[in-house]
């Protein structure tokens, strides 16, 4: 496999030559690895929970006897998001939609409280209904052959005086399980030192501002724009032995930050650290939070240049937020690891962030996202679309080498300020950008490259180079995801994918020193 890539320089070539069939040599330093978790949505190919309702889509308004899919009429819900129906109104939701049928077949136990009737459709059909017991109702819905349609659950009736609540849909074999997490999901996370919850918290463009806006573990679903409850995130870290990395919503006030930190302090084992970052990629013009922070920076008079005001406001709010966290934890800079994120391809952003007064006293880690291959879907896309997979993989190897200069500069800046350099995200970045998003030829080339066994060699090279250049923690993006025109971000395409079909996870598993069977 390696012979099909052009020779590298002596150091990087030695790293590549240490690879045999995607397994790195056992000598030399290993990277400290973390991973970004995918968002909890009904179309995700990850199955984090044994209760499918936790991943259900927002309620779709329908009517009895009306063939329309969505009436457009708002559905009233209680404090936890369960529907309060008027006469003739139906509330529908979807689970495991558009996931190529990659979810379990078998009998699903649906349980709920309240005087209400439910029904199922698409891949699922009710095969039995049980009598009410201890105030609980239930039925069994069977999925004989999972397809791309997924499961449709409909609340057909809900009595105003005793409305539906505490609704669950237990996966086959996990009826009334005490552990909320699917064992396959937990297994996939074994060996990662840090779990970054950026997408789990739906950080980009988050509407969360106040403590009362926070999601709760007993909400009807965790698949909302508010993200997953902090109790579940910490519970997953307890279950896997990892440290959490939380991204505080850009609009969150001090009361939200304090309450969030208090819950983490209550639930996280005392020996475990917590990584804390303000929002996500504030430097990036593609996310709404960047513009919002920029307006705040301008209002605070931090700079005449608007973009510089954005970066200074990011640093200012980071310092302020970390002070709240450390006040809650009460151990200074002990268990709370303060993170400040900059743009990997632009060390100037690090220079500006680190120049803000108070940063050195508050921040422990400068973070970047040293992806490789971004240009192949943007300014070089017209030429790249005509390449073979072999040509693309060879060019990715060159892109990894080219990243070294930027990584080195960020590392120097971090060291000057007594900080560690870490990667909040990283890995391949083969995706069409702008006018190239809908280029089917480019999309298919990128997907093929991600599936090629030689991608394992490139991941090993990239991570070894990161260590050689002095990088610390490296959080891959992302754990699990279906490939599409929007990218092939997952270390696996779906939960349960065989390791011999997942070259990126195979490389990471080898570097973690985890058993190669882990994550099946």
3 pLDDT band (50/70/90 cuts)? very low
Average pLDDT over residues 56-65: 96
pLDDT at 333: 83
Judge whether residue 20 has pLDDT over 50.
Answer: no
pLDDT at 410: 98
Helix ranges (DSSP H) in 388-502: 389-416, 440-451, 454-468
Query: What is the three-class DSSP state of 226?
Result: coil
pLDDT at 19: 35
Judge whether residue 25 has pLDDT over 80.
Answer: no
pLDDT at 9: 33
Choose the weakest-confidence range: 133-142, 341-350, 480-489: 133-142
Phi-psi region of 205 (alpha: psi -120 to 50; beta: other; left: phi over 0): left
Residues with Cβ within 8 Å of residue 171, at least 6 apart in sequence = 47, 50, 51, 52, 104, 106, 108, 182
Judge whether residue 18 has pLDDT over 80.
Answer: no
Q: pTM of the prediction?
A: 0.93
Judge whether residue 354 has pLDDT over 80.
Answer: yes
pLDDT at 331: 84
Structure tokens at 315: 């640093």
- The whole-angstrom separation of Cα 218 and Cα 201 is 16
Question: What is the per-residue pLDDT across 358-386, written as a single tens digit (0 to 9) for each?
Answer: 999 999 999 999 999 999 999 999 999 99
Note whether 291 and 279 are within 8 A (CB): no
489 pLDDT band (50/70/90 cuts)? very high
Note whether 142 and 109 are within 8 A (CB): no
CA angle 439, 36, 424 (to 5 degrees): 95
In angstroms, the Cα distances linking 297 to 49, 247, 281, 310 are 40, 19, 16, 5
pLDDT at 66: 85
Choose the weakest-confidence range: 7-21, 173-187, 190-204, 493-507: 7-21
pLDDT at 435: 96
Judge whether residue 148 has pLDDT over 70.
Answer: yes
Residues with Cβ within 8 Å of residue 132, at least 6 apart in sequence = none
Judge whether residue 471 has pLDDT over 90.
Answer: yes
In angstroms, the Cα distances linking 171 to 107, 111, 260, 266, 362 are 7, 12, 30, 30, 45
Structure tokens at 198: 């950026």
Average pLDDT over residues 320-346: 96
- The whole-angstrom separation of Cα 116 and Cα 138 is 10
176 pLDDT band (50/70/90 cuts)? confident
Judge whether residue 23 has pLDDT over 50.
Answer: no
Q: How many CB atoms lie within 10 A of CB 15?
A: 23
65 pLDDT band (50/70/90 cuts)? confident
pLDDT at 162: 95
- The whole-angstrom separation of Cα 242 and Cα 193 is 5
Query: What is the three-class DSSP state of 299?
Result: helix
Query: What strands, in cross-sheet order, belong to the sheet with 116-122?
Result: 60-63, 89-95, 151-158, 116-122
More confident call, 19 vs 287: 287
Note whether 369 and 427 are within 8 A (CB): no
CB-based burial label for 349 (10 Å; 0-12, 13-18, 19+):
buried
Choose the weakest-confidence range: 60-74, 191-205, 433-447: 60-74
Judge whether residue 429 has pLDDT over 90.
Answer: yes
Across all residues in the chain, what is the average pLDDT?
A: 92
Average pLDDT over residues 353-358: 98
pLDDT at 28: 59
Best CA proximity match to 350, nearest among 404, 412, 405: 412
In angstroms, the Cα distances linking 387 to 329, 383, 444, 446 are 53, 7, 11, 10
Distance in angstroms between the alpha carbons of the first and the last residue of the chain? 24
pLDDT at 24: 39
Structure tokens at 431: 């995706």
Best CA proximity match to 276, nearest among 334, 231, 228: 334
Judge whether residue 409 has pLDDT over 80.
Answer: yes
Judge whether residue 490 has pLDDT over 70.
Answer: yes
Best CA proximity match to 202, nearest among 230, 181, 180: 230
For the chain, domains (ranges, CATH) are 31-47+182-512 (3.20.20.80), 52-170 (2.60.40)
Judge whether residue 228 has pLDDT over 70.
Answer: yes
Average pLDDT over residues 423-442: 98
CB-based burial label for 268 (10 Å; 0-12, 13-18, 19+):
buried
pLDDT at 167: 97
**Share above pLDDT 90 across residues of the chain, in percent, rounded to a whole number:** 89
CB-based burial label for 276 (10 Å; 0-12, 13-18, 19+):
buried
Average pLDDT over residues 150-176: 95
- The whole-angstrom separation of Cα 163 and Cα 82 is 9
pLDDT at 21: 38
């Amino acid at each position: 496999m390696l012979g099909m890539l052009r020779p590298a320089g002596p150091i990087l070539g030695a790293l590549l030559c240490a690879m045999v069939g995607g397994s790195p040599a056992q000598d030399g330093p290993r990277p400290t690895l973390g991973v970004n978790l995918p968002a909890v949505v009904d179309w995700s190919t990850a199955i984090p929970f044994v209760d499918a309702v936790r991943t259900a889509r927002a309620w779709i308004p329908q009517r009895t006897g009306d063939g329309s899919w969505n009436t457009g009429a708002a559905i009233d819900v209680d404090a936890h998001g369960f529907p309060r129906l008027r006469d003739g109104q139906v509330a529908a939701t979807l689970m495991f939609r558009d996931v190529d049928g990659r979810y379990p077949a078998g009998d699903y136990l649906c349980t709920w409280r309240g005087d209400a009737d439910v029904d199922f459709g698409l891949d699922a059909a009710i095969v039995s209904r049980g009598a009410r017991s201890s105030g609980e109702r239930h039925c069994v819905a069977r999925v004989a052959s999972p397809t791309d349609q997924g499961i449709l659950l409909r609340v057909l009736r809900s009595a105003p005086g005793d409305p539906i609540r505490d609704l669950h849909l237990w996966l086959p074999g996990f009826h009334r399980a005490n552990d909320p997490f699917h064992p396959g999901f937990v297994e996939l996370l074994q060996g990662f030192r840090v779990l970054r919850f950026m997408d789990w918290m739906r950080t980009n463009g988050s509407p969360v501002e106040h403590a009362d806006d926070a999601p709760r573990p007993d909400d009807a679903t965790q698949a909302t724009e508010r993200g997953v409850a902090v109790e579940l995130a910490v519970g997953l870290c307890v279950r896997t032995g990892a440290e959490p990395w939380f991204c505080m919503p850009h609009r969150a006030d001090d009361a939200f930050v304090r309450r969030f930190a208090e819950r983490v302090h209550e639930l996280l084992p005392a020996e475990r650290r917590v990584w804390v970052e303000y929002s996500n990629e504030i430097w990036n013009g593609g996310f709404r939070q960047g513009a919002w922070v920029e307006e705040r920076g301008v209002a605070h008079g931090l700079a005449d240049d608007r973009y510089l005001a954005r970066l200074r406001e990011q640093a200012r709010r980071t310092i302020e937020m970390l002070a709240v966290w450390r006040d809650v934890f009460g151990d200074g800079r002990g268990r709370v690891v303060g993170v400040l994120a900059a743009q990997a391809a632009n060390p100037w952003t690090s220079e500006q962030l680190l120049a803000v007064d108070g940063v050195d006293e508050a921040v422990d880690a400068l973070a970047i996202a040293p992806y490789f291959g971004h240009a192949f879907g943007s300014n070089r896309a017209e030429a790249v679309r005509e390449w073979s997979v072999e040509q693309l993989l060879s060019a990715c190897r060159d892109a990894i080498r080219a990243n070294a200069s930027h990584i080195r500069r960020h590392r120097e800046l971090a060291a000057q300020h007594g900080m560690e350099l870490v990667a909040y995200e990283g890995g391949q970045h083969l995706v069409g950008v702008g006018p190239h998003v809908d280029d089917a030829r480019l999309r298919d080339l990128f997907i093929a490259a991600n599936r090629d066994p030689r991608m394992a060699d490139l991941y090993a090279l990239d991570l070894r180079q990161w260590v050689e250049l002095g990088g610390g923690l490296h959080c891959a993006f992302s754990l699990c995801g279906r490939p599409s025109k929007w990218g092939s971000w997952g270390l696996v395409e779906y939960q349960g994918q065989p390791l011999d079909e997942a070259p990126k996870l195979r490389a990471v598993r080898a570097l973690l020193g985890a058993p190669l069977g882990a994550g099946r």
